[in-house]
Structure formats: C-alpha cells, structure tokens
C-alpha cells in the first residue's frame, strides 16, 4: 500500500491508544503488539507500510559466526530490499534474549529511508540506537548475535509479531507507548477518524481541567459536543 | 481510615523498602505489590487510604465501544465517588496488555484530589501521565481500551492487587521503587517507626562513607547507636 | 584471576554485544545473563573477576528480622571479604521480587573498591543506587528485605546467574545493555580481539553513513578491510 | 437460573469444544477457562449454574492455622450455602501452588448435591478426589492449605476464573477436556444447538471413515446434509 | 525426503532421548520440542518426514465461524495435500489455549495415511484422539476452535515448532516422552546409530541390575563393551 | 539424620497435604516443592533424608558428549555415594527442558537402596521410570541429556529445589500429590502428629458421609472429638 500525504498527516496526529479504540469499534480486538517497547521514546510517532521478515529458530550447522556474509542470507537481503518509507518488522517469536538486529543494520535501514524498525525480540547496541533518530521498537536489549537464535526464513510474508497478525502493507504505527497494526484497507479512514478524535480529547481535557465531572463529558453528550465545536472553531 | 497530619508527615519520610521491613517484623511478609512500577518516578512519595475497584474479564456483549457512557458503568461511578486524599487502586488481575485507566480519567481523579492511582495492569496515555503530577503505578503502558479486557464489577471491596490483599482503608504507599500496602490498624505506628528508621539509616550511611565495616554498624551495636544519638542531636 | 592493565584497557573498549559474538565464535553460546539490567546505565563499562554469593530460599526459623546481625551470616561475611577490583555477583534464582542487596551494603562494597554488583534478582533502594557511581545490575527494584526470600548458603563457589554459569574468577563484564561472563582462560584474548573489533565496527559505521550497501561492508570484504586499514592509520 | 430437564439432557450430549464454537458464533470468544483441567476425567460431563466464591490473597494476621473454625469464614459458609445442582466455582487468581479446596469439603459439597467444583488454582487430596464421583476441575495438585494463600472475601458475586468472566447463574459446563462458561441467557438455545451439532459431527465422522475428503463434508454442503438427514432418520 | 524401510526399522528401535544425544554429538543442541506432549502415549514411536503448516494470529475479519468452508483456507488444503507417511506438523506459536486441530481433521489425516500430527499448541476433542491409533502430540487440550486464534498462512515452509526449527522433509520422531526433529541429511546415520545405542543400553541395564557400579559401565569401558559383544552374540 | 522405624511408620501414614499444614502451624509456609510431580504416582509414599546434588548451567567446553565418563564428574560420584535410605534430590533451577537424570542412573540408585529421586527439572526415559518401583518426582519428561544444560557443581550442600530450601538430612516426603521438605529437627514430631491427624480426618470423612454439616465437624468441636475417640477405640 502507498501512504498518501493526507494519511501521513493524519497518522502524525494519532496515538496508539486511539487507534486501538477505533479498530475495536470495527471489530478488531487484537491490534496492539504485546511485549514491545520503544527504544527511543522521545521521537515523533512512526507510521509506514509493513515490510516483514520471518525468523525461525537457528540450527547450529546453518547459523554460525560468519553467516552474515552468505549472499543467501535472507536477513541481509531484506535489509537492502525493504522499500523507503516502510516499517521493517520482524517475527522473533517473542524471544527477548537474542538480538534480532543491531546498530549497523539499523543505520543502513535509516540511510535507506525506512520509517522504523519493530521486532518482538531483542535488539543489540541499544545505546547507539537510543541516540539515533530512527524509531526502533523491541522486547528489550539483548547482546547475543542473531545467528545464535534466529534464521531468517522468508521476507514479505504474513507474520506474527507481538501476538498480532501483520500482513505486508498493513500500516505499522508506533508512538512512545505502543505499536499498533492497522489493516491496509482500513488505514485511511481510521487515521482520519483518529486525528479528529485526538482533537476532541484535547478539548475534553480542558473541560476536565475546568472542573467538570466526567458525566456528560467523557464520553461527551450533545452539550459537550457543542462546546467542542465552538472551541474548535476558535482555534482555527 | 483517616490519615492524621502526623501520619502524613511520617509516611513522607518513609521508603517502600523500610515499610516492608517493619511489616515483616510484625509477621506480614506479603505487602509489596509485584509487577507494579511508577509511571512518574520523580514525584514525592504517595500515601493515602485505599479506595478499591475490582475488574473481572470483559464479555463482548456487555463490554464494548461506548460502554463508558452507560450510567451503570461502575468504573465511571468510582471515578466520581472516590474520596479526596485516597489512593484509587484497581485489581486488573495482573494483565499488562489492557489499559485499566487512561489520561482523561486520571486527570479527573487528580482534579478531585485523589492522592494517586495504582493498578496491577496496563495504563494508556502514559506519555501524558508521566508528565503530570499525580503518582500513577502500573504494570506498563498498554494501548487497548478498558472494555476490551475488563469489566468493573465492584468498588470499595477487598481486592487482590499485584499479589497482595488490599482492604478499603489500608494505607497504600508508593515511592520511586515500589508500592506497599500497610494494614489500617498498623499504619500510624509503622509510619512513625519508619520515619525514625530512615533517619538512622541516613546516619549509618555516613558511617559507611567514613570507612567503617558493616560489622557493628549494620545492624548497629550499642556504640553505633550512641554515635547516632549524638549525630541526631547535632542535626536538630 | 588477576586482570592486567592491558586487559582492563581492552575491556574498557568492548561492548557486551561484541563479547558474546567472540565467545560464540569459540563455541560458547550461553554467556549473556538473561533478565538482568543496569540500575545506573550511564556509567562506563564494568569488568572484574567474579566473587560469587549463593542464595537459597529462606526458611522462617533461620531467616528473619535481625538475621543481618548474626556473625554467621554469610551474606554479611561476603560483603567484607570480597576483594577490591572484583565484581560481587549473586545467584538469586531469578527472583525479581526480593531484594538481594540494598544501598547500605552496596555503599560498603563501593567503599571497599569492588568493581560492581550483579544479581539475577531484585535490589532495594534503587533510587539511591541509581545516583551512585558503582555499577549495579539486577532484575528490578524490589522492596522486601533479603531474609524474606533468601538465605546466603555459600560464597565463592560456582553459581548460576541469569541462566549462565559463573565460576569464581571469570571476568564479569557489563555495559549499558547487558552483563556477559567471560571464562577466565579466555579473558585476555577475547578482550583484545573485542577492542579491535569495536574499532573496526566504528569504521564500518562511517561506511554505512557514507551510503554504502552492507554487501561487502558488513561483514567486510578485502576492499573494505583495506579502507579500514587506511582509516585506522590516519586516526593514529 | 434454573436448568430444565431438557437443558440438562442437551448439555449431557454436548462437548466443551462444540459449546465454544457456538458461543464464538454469537460473538463470545472468551468462554473456555485457561489452565484448568479435570481431576477425574472419566466422569460424564458436568453442567450446572455457577455459585461463586472469591478469594483474595491471605494476610498472616487474618488467615492462619485454625481459621477454618471461625464462623465468619466465608469459604466455610459457602460450602453450606451453595445450592444443590449448582457448580461451586472459585476465583483463585490462577495460583496453582495453594489448595483452594480439599477432599473433606469436596465430599460435603458432593453430599449436599452440588454438580461439580471448579477452581483456577490448586486442589489438595487429589488422590481421594480422583476416585470420587464429583467432577472437580483445577490447575493442579497443591498440598499447602487454603489459608496460606487465600482469604475468602465474597460469595455469589461475578468473578474471574481461568481468565473468563463468571456471573452467578451462568451455566458452567465441563467434560474430559475443558470447562466452558455459558451466559445464562444463552444457555438453553446453545445447549439445544450443541446437542444437534454433536449428532451431525458423529455422522461426519462416518463419512470421513468411509474415505470422503473433507471438501464438502467438513463443513458439510447440501449433499452431505441430505445424507445426514437420511442417516439420522435411520438411527431413530 | 523418502524414508527407506531400513530407516523406518531403525527409528522404530530408537527413543527420543537417544536421538537428542546423537544430535548433540553432531553439534545440534536444540532438537527436542519444548512444551509438547503425547495425547496417546501408549502408541509405538512415530517417525516420518515433516509436512509443515504455519499459523499466524487470527484477525476477526478474516477468521470467523464458517472460515473452514472457504476453498482458499490453507489449513483445509493442507489436510488434503499432506502426503501419506509424513508427519503433519504445525507452528501454533506455542499457544496452548486455542485448538490447532480437532478430531474430524485428525481422522482425515489418519485415513490419508499420515504418520502422525504435531503442534506446539492446543488440540480439541482430545478424548476421541486419545482413543485413536494416530499419534498426536500437542501442548494440551483446548476447546476454542482454530479460527479464534489462528490463520493458516503457509504450508510446507520452514517453521518453528516448540522452539525448534523444522524444515520440510526433516524426520519428525516421537515416542511416549518427546518429539525430536532430525535434519534430513542426518536421519539415516542417526537412526542406525540410535538403534545400536538402544541395544547397548539394554545390555547396560542388565549390568546395573546385576549390581555393578556405573563406573566403567556407564559410559562403558573396554571390558564392558567386550561383555556387551558377547551378550549381543548370544541374543542373536 | 537417621530415621527411626517409628518415624518411618509415621511418615508412611502421612500425606503431603497434612505435613504442609503441620509445618505452617510451626511457622513454616514454604515447604512444598512447586512444579514437581510424581512420575509413578501409584507407589506408596516416599520418605528419607535428603542427599543433595547442585547443578549449575552447562558450559560447552566443560559439558559435552562423553562428560559422563570423567572421574571428576560430580553427578556420577554422587550416584555412587548417596547413602541407602536417602532421597537423592537435585537443584535443576526449575528447568523442565533438560534431563537431570535418566533410567540407567535411576536404576543404579534403586539398586543401591535409595528411597527416591526428586528433581525440579526434567527426567528422560520416563517410560521406563514410570514402570519401576523407585519413586521419582520431576518437572516433566525431557529428552536432552544432562550435559546440554547442567553441570554438577556440588553434592550434599544446602540447595533450592522447587522454590524450597533443602538442607542435607531434612526429610523429603512424597506422595501421589506433592513433595514436602520437613526440617530435620521437626521430622519426628511432625510425622507423629501427622499420622494422628490422618486418622482423625478418616473419621471426619465418615461424619461427612453420614450427612453432617462441616460446622462443628471440620474443624471438629468437642462433641465430634468425643465421637472420634469412640470410633478410634472401636477400630483397635
């Protein structure tokens, strides 16, 4: 899928929390990755179509020191093939104790214009990654290299990540709190509705700060929505 | 229970670590919540009587997008009923993947004068909460809304939270390290003893820094206690 | 084992990630502690020979409030016996909910010249420890005192820590990411090779930043290694 | 709720697997208890309205050797109050290491005519219970008595059990495989549909055994359903 | 890969324990599935080439009641395509709470001549499966149907199962204890060596039963091996 | 410690459940091993003084195929040194996926007169062990050999097993339900009280079967105890 500028602008105003709400509203209850946290939470939100990598467990005769130099190595191929603007997202089977990626490959992805990296597993060189401006989400810092636990089996196939289905092209969104997968066919409408919802919640917070009870305010009744309309008009 | 000013002053000088020690001394070994961490660890310690909320698992026909607006919703009732000065503490069955509360309701509790919020489950909008001045403790950031996993079944009944029994009115204490539940009938004496113990430990650290061995110092023998008395008199 | 100045200098240039790679290269796949994180990640890397402590579960009739004052208490003996320059490392059976050590004993170890502290369990007083300059690694903050869960059974015997075998005298290395155990007989050669490898990776990052593909660069082919030689000569 | 004879007969022909299917069909995806297994799997299926007990963690000053004799003990009250025909179901917070019930209380429930016992926790005296004819489901055998980990806080309130919401009066069904909770208002229709579905699946197995492909058979197309009708008429 | 009659005969004399030993001897330490147990442990050992199925998490708009009838459903296609003599092995991401297969599909696989079924997830209808003569290995009984948690994404690709890499054509062996994956290129030699090792261990047990110490017997020294040769000659 | 005939007779009449109750009564709440189950639950209860073995994680250069033949191998030494009548109990750090022992060594222990084997880890050859008459308790069946995960570091030192402290000479008791560790100095009195308690509970069950309420019966009041005295006199 291609993200339009409008979609990018809408996603930039969304939060992971709001996106899960709007997906539940559409019947999708399992969209937020479990056990995955930002390495560099101070960056702006990330959004981009999924380019997937699928790891299976390593086998000592195939995966060893030096495997990275094999031209058949699918992880390394994927690093050079993932398209700019996409989120590089890997199925690490939730294993936090093996590094699914490290800072050199992460830098290459950043240089190639990827929008971010997500793994439901460990990442090494997290010190360097935390200081860089490419958003990386993972299960935690892990020193041992990829080939001690992982073998890249496939790229750009549907995968599991953090307990959630990820299809190539789904929009992968991340903020300081969580990563959410938005199915491709819902992305535009959910992003637009999300941006609007964030604005409304910003107003509701002013109401709460003004001392109103949540009754009639959260969720808002007609009176509150009318005040919201006025507030919104003023701000524009 | 009502906290007196003296109790508040004593608790403000305590740490979670010291409180667990004093409760073990009284035979209570299970008082520190497990799996619960501060969202905003830079705030001063929190202490207040427990106002409890009990969640059970959600059921799709009762808990759905829009449930928040139902006047029978016990979570929403609790937000408006919890008394000022109390700690709002919820049993989320240890589930870190569902948000037990978010920033709008947290703001309302802050506005109503609550002393803090504790859940053994997820919280959403943690970015906003981390920047606010109401202490919040939870199992981690979680985007999915409350009704995807929880149904509020009761308020102000005895609950489990983080593997610990919490009775309404017990004092819930939190610092940058942990949350400890102090049974109501022990709260005054434990807080007073805790404040004294913290002062003594501050002195013991000066002894360690001065190069003394821990033998006779930690725990302190009579000589050390005599030096402590002198030190304390000087400081006043 | 004694660390020479050269070894210390080499380890100071290493990272946990690189050390695990070099140990895998030598057939050792299980050298990075699992579930152990730095309390004060901003400090420089830690390296020192292991001085071990072995905890078993507490029993209420032997381990209680006041146990710390017993001259037979092996934990307290170990605090005074662990040699300067060593890393104090304890087997806490991976239990994150009990404090294996607190700030007073940690300060004494710092004063006695230890290089760091590692436990696969909880630590209390983490606020104070985070602000001190002795590296401490653990499974998380835990308020309950040692004797509520642990009994020190032995010191300076082989132990398990974070799922890894630790023999007294092995070099325990820690950085902002992880703790790695380097068997004593490999420590000098691995540290030297690690320092060299870090320098090479610093060069490879300049290549990536200059826009090169990872092919031929990571891992480096002969051309890249020739450029590395030139780069290294220039920098000296 | 009261179970009619027709409902009892229908449930007696159902399986836990089929009931979950029919509840998913109605939008309820979370109805099978997790981590709960039969102690005596050879017995016929169990079905009855839920009578609930809610445990919270024990506190040493309230829960100790001898607590069972206290007239205020809610567990003991519940044993004498749970109505015949009901399933006694307790929230043990999923703790498999503490006994939520033992053989003496189980025998009393059997004598009083209960339909079965379900706990998401441990049970003691499992040897005796396995040989008795009252169905018991739990997380495993556990020797330590109730009061070492549990305090009965409430009876006949909505609870969590095995990760599922249980409201008093919901039908709790168990077979050799699993325990499923059927909301009261759906029980009659789901049981009837389930009994019919089991009959159809018995026919489908004869088709498979006769060598047919699953295509058109599972799920069945119109031809297969016609053969099923014929088969069913013959058997009556 | 095709199994010869000799290989089948050799595997029939092997145990999972012995096969793991012989694979470790060849440098492969991760070959026994974790968390997978036999449903019908009384059957003879199972061995056959792997035919794999890969599940990812379900998404409600694609996976729902009725999905089984979709001709594009890859699980159903796999049931009809898996070749006779093979082991049907599925990646269920270790989730024990969802049924990866049930008795109707299992019967169809048996009818089609498959050698066995292995999943690192739940199975439903375990009562019926336990009584049938097709070996089934799984993580436990689970009532909820496949589509509540799984979506079949691929067949006959490399997968993870029980934490072990499984390549199509690897020999999947199971006995009453465990399931072991033998890489295709090692299968013939490992099976032959395993059958011989089992015979030797049968002899060693007679030695132990005769009262010999394990010293010189286990592992056997030259004298013991000479006695083994004599014993073996006698038995033939 | 030596067990007298009277102690053996008393323990033979006890259950794990009763022993935990009597130890809690004496202030010891952590005496039942967690995660440890009988391999051959049909055998009579096991009781004997603990002979301990302590495993730490394996390291590939010390623990490999063939390690069993090394005369310095502490596991093998322990097999030949553990005294008759004792329970061989090993600290496997709770790892269920590696075999801490197999059938050949188990047979040797049986031949040497040991009373039983307990590990908080895996056991291999469980099929053979289940059919033998030496009680074995473990965390489950595991194929991979000892040296893939364990290195025997010590024997007859205090250990952790199943989360419980075990001191050499403590009485290790096991029945079809659980394993309980009774501190040596309490063993005689607890066994005697346990045997008496079992007799009383046998009587209480006759009361329950006769239709009495638990009130006044469980726990028994003076009337019930009087009936118990009469019942006991009759039976003798």
The answer, for B175 touching chain C at a CB cutoff of 8 Å, is yes
The residue of chain B nearest to residue D159, with distances taken between CA atoms, is B56
To test the contact with chain E by mutation, choose from A26, A50, A57 the residue with the greatest count of E C-beta atoms within 10 A, namely: A57
Beta bridge partners of D138: D37
DSSP state of B144: S
So what's the pLDDT on residue A68?
86
Per-residue pLDDT tens over the stretch C117-151: 999 999 999 999 999 999 999 999 999 999 999 99
In this complex, do F160 and C61 lie within 8 Å of one another by their Cβ atoms? no
Q: Look at E143 and D178 and tell me if their CB atoms are within 8 Å.
A: yes
Residue of A nearest to C34 (CA): A97
Residue F16, min C-alpha distance to chain C (Å):
18
Q: Which of B56, B165, B146, B157 is nearest to B105 (CA)?
A: B146
Question: Which chain A residues have a beta carbon less than 8 Å from that of E61?
Answer: 27-28, 183
- From first CA to last CA, the distance across chain B in angstroms is 32
pLDDT, tens digit (0-9, with 9 covering 90-100), for B115-130: 999 999 999 999 999 9
Instruction: Answer yes or no: do B15 and C125 touch at CB < 8 A.
Output: yes
The alpha-carbon gap from D10 to the nearest alpha carbon of chain F, in Å, equals 31
Q: Which pLDDT belongs to residue B1?
A: 67
**CA-based nearest distance A62→chain C, Å:** 14
| pLDDT exceeds 90 at position B2 | no
Chain D nearest CA to E112, separation (Å): 8
Q: Return the CATH number of the domain spanning residue range F5-189.
A: 3.50.30.40
Domain boundaries, chain A: 32-182, 196-235
User: CB-based contact (8 Å) between B145 and chain A?
Assistant: yes
* Closest Cβ–Cβ partner in B24, B176, B204 for C145: B24
- Closest by Cβ to B160, choosing from D29, D56, D158: D56
Please tell me which chains touch A, using 3 or more CB pairs under 8 Å as the contact test. Answer: B, C, E
pLDDT lower than 50: segments of chain F: none
Residues 89-128 of B with CB under 8 A from D: 93
Given an 8 Å threshold on Cβ–Cβ distance, is C61 in contact with F29?
A: no
Question: How many Cα neighbours within 13 Å face the side chain of B69?
Answer: 9
Distance linking the first and last C-alpha atoms of chain D: 32
Q: F155 pairs with which residues across the strands?
A: F53
CB contact (8 A) between residue F65 and residue E25: yes
Torsion, Cα B202 B203 B206 B211, to 10 degrees, reads -120
Q: Which residues of D touch E108 (CB under 8 A)?
A: 208, 213-214, 218
- H-state helical runs in chain C: 5-13, 16-25, 74-81, 103-111, 126-130, 187-209, 222-235
Q: How far apart are CA B146 and CA F191, in angstroms?
A: 51
Asked if the C-beta of F153 comes within 8 angstroms of chain C's C-beta atoms, the answer is yes
For residue E208, the chain F residues in CB contact (below 8 A) are 104, 107-108, 111
Name the residue facing F148 among E24, E201, E214 (closest C-beta).
Answer: E24
Q: If we measure between CA atoms, which residue out of B166, B108, B118, B110 comes closest to residue B139?
A: B118
Nearest alpha carbon to residue B83 among B103, B116, B112 = B112
From chain A residues 188-217, the ones with a CB under 8 A of any chain B CB are 201, 204-205, 208-209, 211, 213-215
Asked if C141 and B177 come within 8 Å (Cβ–Cβ), the reply is: yes
Tell me if D127 and F20 make a contact (CB, 8 A cut-off): no
List, for residues A149-158, the tens digit of each pLDDT value: 999 999 999 9
Task: Give partners of D (≥3 CB pairs < 8 A).
Answer: B, E, F
Which residue, A134, C143, E224, is CA-closest to B164? C143
Question: Do A48 and A87 form a contact (C-beta atoms < 8 A)?
Answer: yes
> CATH number of the domain at C5-186, out of 3.50.30.40, 1.10.150.110, 3.40.50.12140, 3.30.70.20?
3.50.30.40
- Under 8 Å CB-to-CB from E44, ≥6 apart: which residues? E12
The domain made up of B32-182 has a fold known as: Glucose Oxidase; domain 1 (3.50.30)
The token duo for B61 is 């026909």
Phi (first) and psi of residue F212, to 5 degrees: -75, 150
- One DSSP character per residue, E170-201 reads PEEEE-SS-EEEE-GGGHHHHHHHHHHHHHHH
Q: How far apart are CA C191 and CA C204, in angstroms?
A: 20
Chain E: residue whose CA lies nearest to F80? E213
Contact criterion met (CB below 8 Å) for F143 and E20: yes
Q: How confident is the model at residue C1 (pLDDT cuts 50, 70, 90)?
A: low
**What is the Cα–Cα distance from D6 to D151, expressed in whole angstroms?**
38
Would you state the pLDDT for residue E2? 82
Minimal-distance CA residue of chain C relative to F62: C28
Taking the CA of residue F109 and the nearest CA in chain E, the distance in Å comes to 10
Give the closest of D20, D176, D180 to E145, CB-based.
D20
Q: Decide if A165 and E59 are in contact by the 8 Å CB cutoff.
A: yes
Partner residue opposite E80 with nearest CB, options D176, D214, D219: D214
From first to last of its 236 residues, what are the pLDDT tens digits of chain D? 689 999 999 999 999 999 999 999 999 999 999 999 999 999 999 999 999 999 999 999 999 998 888 989 999 999 999 999 999 999 999 999 999 999 999 999 999 999 999 999 999 999 999 999 999 999 999 999 999 999 999 999 999 999 999 999 999 999 999 999 999 999 999 999 999 999 999 999 999 999 999 999 999 999 999 999 999 999 87
Chain F residues closer than 8 Å to C98 by CB: none
Beta-carbon contacts below 8 Å between C and F = 61
Shortest CA gap D105–chain E (Å): 28
pLDDT lower than 70: segments of chain E: 1
Question: Tokens at residue C200, please?
Answer: 């090479």
Q: Which of D104, D142, D148 sits opposite F201 (nearest CB)?
A: D104
Q: Scanning every residue of chain F, which has its alpha carbon at the shortest distance from the alpha carbon of D39? A: F177
pLDDT at E1: 67
Angstroms from F102 CA to nearest CA on chain E:
9
Whether E144 and D219 lie within 8 Å, measured CB to CB: no
pLDDT of residue B69: 85
- Over the stretch B88-109, which tens digit does the pLDDT of each residue have? 999 999 999 999 999 999 999 9
**Which of F31, F177, F218 comes nearest D124 by C-beta?**
F177
Interface residue E43 vs chain F (CB under 8 A): no
**Quick check: A154 contacting B, CB < 8 Å?**
no
Question: Would an 8 Å CB–CB cutoff place A176 in contact with chain B?
Answer: yes
How many Cβ atoms from other residues are within 10 Å of residue F1's Cβ? 18
Least Cα separation, residue F98 to chain E (angstroms)? 10
Chains in contact with B, where contact means 3 or more Cβ–Cβ distances below 8 Å, are A, C, D
Q: Is B133 on the interface with D (CB under 8 A)?
A: no
- Mutation target to probe the C interface, by most C beta carbons within 10 A, among B42, B178, B206 is B178
Q: Do D111 and F209 touch (CB under 8 A)?
A: yes
Q: Give ipTM to 2 decimals.
A: 0.96
């Amino acid at each position: 899928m291609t993200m339009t500028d409008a979609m990018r602008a809408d996603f930039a105003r969304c939060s992971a929390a709001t996106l899960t709400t709007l997906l539940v509203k559409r019947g999708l209850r399992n969209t937020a990755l479990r056990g995955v946290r930002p390495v560099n939470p101070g960056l702006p939100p990330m959004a981009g179509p999924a380019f997937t990598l699928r790891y299976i467990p390593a086998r000592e005769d195939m995966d060893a020191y030096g495997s990275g130099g094999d031209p058949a190595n699918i992880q390394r191929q994927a690093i050079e093939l993932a398209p700019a603007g996409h989120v590089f997202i890997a199925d690490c089977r939730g294993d936090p104790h093996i590094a699914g990626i490290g800072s050199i490959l992460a830098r290459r992805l950043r240089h190639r214009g990827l929008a971010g990296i997500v793994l439901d597993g460990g990442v090494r060189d997290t010190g360097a990654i935390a200081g860089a401006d490419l958003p990386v989400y993972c299960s935690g810092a892990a020193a041992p290299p990829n080939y001690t636990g992982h073998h890249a089996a496939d790229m750009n196939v549907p995968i599991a990540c953090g307990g959630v289905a990820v299809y190539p092209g789904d929009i992968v969104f991340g903020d300081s709190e969580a990563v959410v997968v938005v199915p491709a066919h819902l992305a535009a409408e959910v992003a637009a509705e999300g941006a609007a919802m964030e604005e409304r919640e910003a107003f509701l917070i002013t109401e709460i700060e003004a001392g109103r009870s949540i009754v009639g305010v959260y969720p808002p009744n007609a009176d509150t929505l009318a005040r919201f309309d006025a507030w919104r008009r003023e701000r524009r």
